[in-house]
Amino acid sequence: MANMTPYFVPDVDALVPNTIAQGGWGPTLGGHVLGGLLAREIDSLRADLDLVPARLTVDMLRRVATAPVRVHANVLRVGGRMQAIDGEIIQNDEVVARASALYLRRSDQPGERAWSTPIELPPLPVEPAEFDDAMPMFVKPYGRDPAAGGQGMVWQHDGPRYGWVREVRELVAGEKNSPFVQAALAVDVTASLTGFSTSGLGFINADYTLTLCRLPEGPYIGMASLAHYSDAGLATGTASLFDTRGPIGTGVTTAIANPHFGARTFVRG
């Protein structure tokens, strides 16, 4: 990470984005970095380490220019077993993104395991000798068998889709990404993972929600597409999230049809 351009550089009470912070839909900040900034600010107000960020919902209210932003958070409530915190990103005196987070306290685990859909992720990818500083993060997608032919990203097929995501740069220069920030940066990929069809990515997401039963361990977060449902230009997608030890939570996103698709992808696979 030492040689990789950070997404943001601090400047007094603002954060100044580098170009790499732009998303795939044009010269505006990506949803993944907005969620990362909100998670970072919200987590600074966590009451104690026994509280786990069980849910983070990020609303992207408008396009955010590649220009300085300010981030604020506010504790709504602290109880014996929970803490609720809200956050917002401000640019030019307007709220451009917001988030709500719910922290829950660890306790004794019940003895019986509830049923869950079995998922087996592909093996971890072989890392390149050097990460590409022109790509916002390292994503290894799995989906269409390359031997089967076809065009586009390997998620562009009618079948199961998986991915391993690794953040390779600092969100804010000089700061190590926390596990919560790491998960918040990765979960925005849910929109692409669940939204692809055989003709491409037809939806652009307006929000996403990260749920966690525990924080991720290690640099990689695995993702498996669980469902995509859509009608009349509205869609919702759900993915299961893993680290190398096992399941950690889910990603959920809502999206609207985007007929003028022109997004760059993190990787083509």
Q: Please, which pLDDT band fits residue 2 given cuts at 50, 70 and 90? A: low
CA-only gyration radius of the chain, Å: 18
* Strand ranges (E), the chain: 8-11, 14-17, 51-60, 70-78, 82-91, 94-105, 138-142, 162-166, 196-197, 200-201, 203-212, 220-231, 234-243, 246-257
Both tokens assigned to 7: 């997404």
Q: What is the pLDDT of residues 225-256, one digit of tens each?
A: 999 999 999 999 999 999 999 999 999 999 99
Q: Report the phi/psi class of residue 92: left, alpha or beta, with left for phi > 0 and alpha for psi in -120 to 50.
A: left
Give start and end residues of each alpha helix (H) in the chain.
31-43, 179-186, 190-195
Residue 40: exposure state from Cβ atoms within 10 A (0-12, 13-18, ≥19):
buried
Q: Please, which pLDDT band fits residue 267 given cuts at 50, 70 and 90? A: very low
Q: pLDDT averaged over the chain?
A: 92
* Strand ranges (E), 92-195: 94-105, 138-142, 162-166
Q: What is the pLDDT of residues 105-152, one digit of tens each?
A: 999 999 888 999 999 999 999 999 999 999 999 999 999 876 665 566
Q: Name the 3-class secondary structure at 135.
A: coil
Q: Report the phi/psi class of residue 37: left, alpha or beta, with left for phi > 0 and alpha for psi in -120 to 50.
A: alpha
CATH code of the region 8-105+136-257: 2.40.160.210
How many CB atoms are closer than 10 A to CB 66? 17
Both tokens assigned to 110: 């019940």
Listed by start position, the domains of the chain span: 8-105+136-257
How many CB atoms are closer than 10 A to CB 70? 15
Q: Which residues contact 174 (CB under 8 A, 6 or more apart)?
A: 6, 10
Q: Name the 3-class secondary structure at 261.
A: coil
Q: What is the pLDDT of residue 264?
A: 47
Q: What is the pLDDT of residue 123?
A: 92
Q: Please, which pLDDT band fits residue 3 given cuts at 50, 70 and 90? A: confident
